[in-house]
Amino acid sequence: QVLIIFSHSNLTMARFTTSAVALVLFAASCDAFAPARGRAFSRTSPLSMSAVDTSLYTFTKSEEIFAEAQTLMPGGVSSPVRAFKSVGGNPVVFEKVKGAHSWDVDGNEYIDYVGTWGPAIIGHADDVVLDAVKATMDKGTSFGAPCALENELAKMVIDAVPSVDMVRFTNSGTEACMGMIRLCRAHTGREKVIKFEGCYHGHADSFLVQAGSGVATLGLPDSPGVPASATAATLCATYNDLASVEAIFEANKDEIAGLILEPVVGNSGFIKPTKEFLEGLRALATKHGAVLVFDEVMTGFRVSYGGAQEYFGVTPDLTTMGKVIGGGLPVGAYGGTKEIMEQVAPAGPMYQAGTLSGNPLAMTAGIETLKRLRDTEGAYAELERKGQKLIDGIVERGKKHGHAVTGGCAGGMFGFFFNEGPVNNFSDAAKSDAEKFGRWHRMMLERGVYLAPSTYEAGFMSLAHTDEDVDKTLAIADEVMALL
């Protein structure tokens, strides 16, 4: 018999996989038959460190808190995808975040590629941003009145985003998209809009048609409670397929108010457009007198400082934004040409309002975040380098172990599918092995890598991620790919 004794200081690290325990027992038994040479396991021996490195996380406190949450909130969460429904198991409950890392209530540390779903592009809880927000907070959390900080952030957005001459701040991406679609209709005097299968533009009624994101994650074609009249004027085309768009325009001559899309899809997983597709949309919108809208809530200041429209060199008429421009606080915005934006109240007749819109805390966090992005030389090249390194490594390791894997990257945004590829639209994405992704997600989570809990969500790189973070992620990915 073999007795393994851990010192008290090592006890909290004794969380082993079955294979790790077997390795320890095997080594110890071998040592029993070897000549005496001191302790079989020193605290710093390679073997003991290997055992610790392959330990799996446990989630006792997270399970307890989530069990209670399910009695208090629908599904136990405040936003559906957080519930881990499509990947199995229960979500972990976070306690704190910093830089590129997050910690749950059980003390487990993760390399975090969700980044609060995109805003944390310079890293979580950045000291400069926190100090600025704390200083602003001393003056009040909300004014409900004009604030000089709104001017400052507005000027930064206008300077950066090619399509924006004027901007209206809101409190979320959904709210920005609600204002945007109303503005398209007010400007053109038309009702119908074209969106794309798998593109998500918030949870307003008229957009919950083949919407991707949480709707796709949960397998809901649409949402109950949305009246047929709310979606009757919403027409769906196929992403990266100009012919499908042209056919809708031809069938609805002089009736289309707006053509709306995610210029890089992040809510059906990561799907990159061709530049020719975006250029074709620009030409079709102009030809038919429709407003071309890039929903850059996710891609704005994420794939480049000027968003996807700068990245691809195609300028829309209107742009929606969110996430990064609030630096981690609730925010949204829509902006465009002066001609269109001056129709928004009180300059014009199209009404939209918000109690907390332009609040000083969100404006401050946004300003400091954009300053860092603007002033950091090569920021976006570095984001894309690390993102491409991660995706190339995941794809390489997946194929090495016999899995069909494809993926891509743009700026600080990335994603991959268990799919032979290429993935050019939602229909392609839906052919991916979601069951395998669920097992992959849980195994990566148990080893300290926090990824979006759905095959239909993109991932996010930050300036705070290091090559060491990426290398560690790929080492864990190699182990997991071998076990899938």
Residues classed as catalytic: 200, 295, 323
Which tokens is 382 given?
Answer: 């570095």
Query: Distances from the Cα of 236 to the Cαs of 57, 174, 208, 245, 432, in angstroms?
Result: 43, 19, 11, 8, 22
Q: Calculate Rg over the CA atoms of the chain.
A: 25
Which residue stretches of 335-466 are H helix? 338-341, 360-375, 379-400, 426-429, 434-446
Whole-angstrom Cα distance, residue 44 to residue 15? Answer: 17
Mutual angle of helices 379-400 and 467-483, in 10-degree steps: 20
Assign residue 38 a region: left if phi > 0, alpha if psi is -120 to 50, beta otherwise? Answer: left
**Rounded CA gap, 305 and 36, in Å?**
64
| Cβ-contact 181, 204 below 8 angstroms | yes
| Contact by Cβ (8 Å): 340, 184 | no
Residue type, 410: A
